[in-house]
Amino acid sequence: QYHPFTSPAYAWHFTSALRVPSDFNFMEYVLIIVRAIHAFARPGTPRGPPKGYAEEFRNVKIVSPDTALTDAFLAFTQPKSSFFHSVVAFVVRLAFGWMKLTVTVDVASLDSVMQLQAPLVLCPTHRSLLDFVIIGATCLQFQPILPTLRMPQVAADAEFSGLPFLGWALAWLGAFFVRRGGGAVQPEPALRAQVGKVFHRGRPLEVFLEGMRSRGRRQLRLRTGLLKTLRDISQRTVALVPLALSYELLPEDEAFYRELSGLPREKLSTRDLLTWALRGLRGELPPLGEARLRLGRQHTLDSSSDLDQLVAGVQRELVELTSLTTIHARALAELLELPPTAVASAFEKSGVPIRESKLPTPKSQLLQASLWPLVLQAATLHPLRSKLPRQWARWLVEGVFDAKEEPEEAVSSQKVLDKDAFDVSALAAALTLHLEAAEAIAVKASEALREGGMVEVTEEHLVQELLANAAMNGQHLPGPLARGAASIVASKTKVSSASLGGKSSSSSKPRQPAAVGVLWPSASTDKAQLSSEEALDRWGYKDTRFVAQYFDGKPAAQITSKRYPGLAGQPMYKLWELFTRELSVPMNVRDVLPERPMPQLPKPEEGLEEVLTAALPTGRSCFDAESRLRAGTGHGLADIWRLRTRQLPRIPDAVVRPESEEEVQAVLSAATAFADGKGFAVVPVGGRTNVTSATACPPKEVDPRPFVALDMRGLSKIVWVNAEDGVAMIEAGITGMALKESLSKFGVTMGMEPDSMEFSTLGGWISTRASGMKRARYGNIEDMILEVRLVTPAGALWQRHSESSTAGQTAIGRASTGMSLPGLVLGSEGCLGVVTSAVVRVRPLPQVIEYQSVVFADWARGAMWMREVARLPAALRPASCRLMDPKQLALARALREESSSSTSKGLRSLLQDAFLRWRGVSIDSAAAATLVFEGTKPEVALQQRTLAGLVAKAGGVWGGASSGEAGYALTFAIAYLRDFGMDYRILSESLETMAPWSVIGAVWPAVQSAVEAEHRALRLPGRPFMSCRMTQLYDEGGVLYMYFAVCTAGLAPERALEAFSRIEHAARAAVMASGGCLSHHHGVGKLRASLLPQTQSPVLTKALQELKTTFDPANVLGARNGVWAVPQDEATHEQVEKEPNDAAVH
């Protein structure tokens, strides 16, 4: 019997003792009644309760596939829902309908949130991007009858904030974004304020303690960083409630499976979301079945809480609350070749209920991407997990409680399977067969890697090896199984990182997160404050380097000074992501090579200091360790890696810095007379930018004499400039940047601008036969040199002018007077004599310098366009024209990451990509050219008009002047990236070659194939990063500048260098075999000397060696580079570089 009641606002003709609240909403009450009628009074339902009404109340359907009209009705009639929430609810219901997803809730589990005395924090499992959508829809549905389950505010990963539209929508729905990193969540003031607002509004907080979506549905270790932040900033007691989401299938199953199989992780993007929505509208999405929610009991978090114990309790419940359906039983049955009913029965006997699947009955076997997540989800449940091998049980559930609660004794994999008495023990025995087989394969692979020189085998490296071996042998090893086996085997064989040149750990205790503080050295704010001091064991200036650290909880790189304005000030998240993605290796920002003190150097030979002091004025000789190390090493990978890992090669006994030609001659004379004719050897050194080990001292077994480095930077003056004749005399030790600045004061320029111009010298350019970025306008070094002065032990060499270096102050541009001295000196690499000065061509400063860039659909189209530019007359070509391949372009874009807000960045990037796609260009496969125009205004205008026609013909898109200027300027900063990679044991180097147009298309593919083959043979982790750019154009061909990088993590430093040298040698051999030259502008040095005989006749080699004897009979200039490298030097390099392609590195 119902008692009548009334409302104070609507008086009826009768009265009652029952009164409703004054804020009673009549329309809301009507909507609840109508919704109840829709839910229970269905067409065709007989009077009275339906047969399964009790089940309907135990497992309430929040969402199930229905018509759009019904979805709209249920969304817009939701009580206490704003219009915006109703719109989102409608869209969510439509999306769930596309996926044929049914969402149910275990109503009995809601009891834990019925009566709450503290703010609610929901702690769900994290399996899918659907998690927060499902939880939000569920809370919205229950809100009218269960006020504690209001729409929660989600602590979402900051990755979502950069997504246009989706990021905004999440923020409007109440999400706030948290960056996790390094085991901690940074307690910013903004985060503190946001959490305070959530609790003040009375809305629940939703926190995914696993931190990331579990690949394969294992239970990941719960993180405590955000809970610590909540505890510290909430200043109140908080109720944590576990929430287990159990799925049948996930939309990410296929992507996760690919990721577990070694493919790169797919980044979130709005474009992918839109593509997915279009598939949904077309009805192309596969059905997902059921997602079931079950809540656990309350766990109290306050200032006295033991977080480890608290998290253990939460995780235990998350595992226990997992639900299974018949599709899970089917997956296990297919894997183990058992009847699905037997598997389901085994679970039910152990107390695990099996619900009926909402998926249609499949007509064929499950795909591997669907099967393995279902298997692993079932295996996490205690009845099955407790009977698996202990190490596998701990892998399935990574929780802290496993360390205290050991699994039951695992059943033997040899147990006979009795199908008539099948139970969970028999199920575990059958599954163990697969697990142990995978583990045995992983053990063999690990042993093979160690035999190949790996000191430490990481999980990622072992996964890569397992999957690669399986593919080569025609076998199929599922990615999740390979990853589990690799994790188990790698954890058994971990070694101290001290043997790898890394930081050693003296304690087995887990490392606590570092306190939030300064992330990296502050960038200099003014160029006037920049230091000119050069680094010793890195490229460039001491105050400038790339470093990595967690910025706002997310790993990023940053450069430490404002020397290069386009790079300074902002964290480069994309740069860090590019390294990890392209190399396919995990990187930890804190796992870097340590900065170690230099070892003690041997003392100079007795008497050497006295001889040098007597030969030169006071202060010209140095014997300290740093000076000797600088002079005895260049900037090639081998030199810098040895310095970084303290594998010191032989270094000079002394360094002298003469300041005149006479002082140079005095040093060479002293070298001949030293130690009663025994003598000492001299190696000229310029800016220390050589990459061929040209300034390295030969081993003592080859040359036992003392070595003295001749630092030529003391001769760095502009002797004279004749602007009328367009010539200038310049001392050889001047650096490129100083030369450019000094000549500009006379209104002229030499135009020589190599990538290394900040440090390289005129003498070094001559000695290596160098080239510059603006060769198209100014020529190579051989086109600029008119005269040269060379000091040898036999005396000074000059040609065309008198012995006086200042006589005439002009030069003859060309004379037919026999062989040319510059022709002999160019490329001599310090072995024929010491270049002290040169007369060079100079030209008036350009009236106009303009930059531009062009984007092409791919490398092939860009290369065809470059070929057309090369066909133009020289006067119509730009001063610089460089084509970057897609990876080089991605690197340039990562270096130019903007510091604006993430949403605006994302929107701008989306619009740029959309424009390029409209023009037929995908940024992922695009190539780009950077252009520099120099000259008079008419010259530049004519060049630009000419190129515009070629750009239109090639289908290119103009990229703008700012991109062109930035691309040109970035050249100076890219060199720092090699040493940044070296911090993380990533070794990289560049190869340059000139190839004829008829064969140039074959060179880069050949190099890629050679590097990949050597990388596989050496079994190095990850994959090689390779990129290419075309930097210069000739009538006959083009110049390719090729980069490759490999990760050597796990190898001892000396083995790492050996492995890299093998790859580098294979790449150079591939260049020459496909028609390229040995070097276009870096020279030969010692590194490439073993390949030089392939490029010239033995008679020429012998003639050049005998020529040196005339100039230097005692071999005072003993650097032994190029043709003057002795057989012992070549043998040394060949021993490293020409090993057979076996698996081990010897």
32 CB neighbour count, 10 Å cutoff: 15
Q: Which residue has the tokens 């809540």?
A: 295
Instruction: Tell me the sheet residues that pair with 244.
Output: 294
| CA distance to 291, 542, 1108, per residue, from 633 (Å) | 63, 16, 24
**Parallel, antiparallel, or unpaired: how do β-strands 184-185 and 324-325 relate?**
unpaired
Helix, strand or coil, per DSSP, at residue 1080: coil
> Cα 931 vs. chain centroid, distance in angstroms?
28
Helix, strand or coil, per DSSP, at residue 604: coil
Query: Is the Cα dihedral 910, 911, 915, 918 positive or negative?
Result: positive
Q: Are 970 and 892 in contact (CB under 8 A)?
A: yes
* C-alpha to C-alpha distance for 513 and 523, rounded to whole angstroms: 25
* C-alpha to C-alpha distance for 1059 and 1051, rounded to whole angstroms: 9
Q: Tell me which amino acid residue 167 is.
A: G
Closest of 212, 214, 223 to residue 260, by C-alpha:
214
1031 CB neighbour count, 10 Å cutoff: 24
* C-alpha to C-alpha distance for 1109 and 1107, rounded to whole angstroms: 5
- The answer to whether 1041 is a known catalytic residue is yes
Around 996, how many Cα atoms within 13 Å sit in the side-chain half-sphere?
A: 5
Question: What backbone phi and psi angles, to 5 degrees, belong to 1054?
Answer: -70, -35
**Parallel, antiparallel, or unpaired: how do β-strands 843-844 and 834-841 relate?**
unpaired
Q: Are 811 and 1087 in contact (CB under 8 A)?
A: no
* C-alpha to C-alpha distance for 1015 and 1062, rounded to whole angstroms: 9
* C-alpha to C-alpha distance for 698 and 704, rounded to whole angstroms: 9
Q: Which residue has the tokens 């996790």?
A: 180
* Residue 915 CB burial class (10 angstroms; 0-12, 13-18, ≥19): exposed
Question: In the structure encoding, which two tokens stand for residue 943, read together?
Answer: 């060049």
Q: For residue 1086, what is the enclosing H or E element?
A: none
**Parallel, antiparallel, or unpaired: how do β-strands 880-884 and 1025-1033 relate?**
antiparallel
Question: In the structure encoding, which two tokens stand for residue 11, read together?
Answer: 């008086």
What is the DSSP secondary structure assignment for residue 539, as one 8-state letter? S
Rg (CA), the chain: 36
* C-alpha to C-alpha distance for 881 and 933, rounded to whole angstroms: 9
The residue length of the chain stands at 1146
In sequence order, what are the residues at sequence separation of 6 or more whose Cβ sits closer than 8 angstroms to the Cβ of residue 221? Answer: 210, 398, 399, 400
- Catalytic one of 541, 564, 968, 1041: 1041
**Parallel, antiparallel, or unpaired: how do β-strands 176-178 and 153-157 relate?**
parallel
Dihedral angle, C-alpha 658, 660, 665, 671, nearest 10 °: -10
Closest of 428, 329, 435 to residue 374, by C-alpha:
329
Q: Are 553 and 180 in contact (CB under 8 A)?
A: yes
In sequence order, what are the residues at sequence separation of 6 or more whose Cβ sits closer than 8 angstroms to the Cβ of residue 680? Answer: 605, 608, 653, 671, 674, 705, 706, 707, 708, 1116
Q: What is the three-state SS of 627-676?
A: HHHHHHCCCCHHHHHHHHCCCCCCCCCEEECCCCHHHHHHHHHHHHHCCC
* C-alpha to C-alpha distance for 821 and 808, rounded to whole angstroms: 19
Residue 936 backbone class (left: φ over 0; alpha: ψ -120 to 50; beta: rest): beta
Residues belonging to the active site: 1041
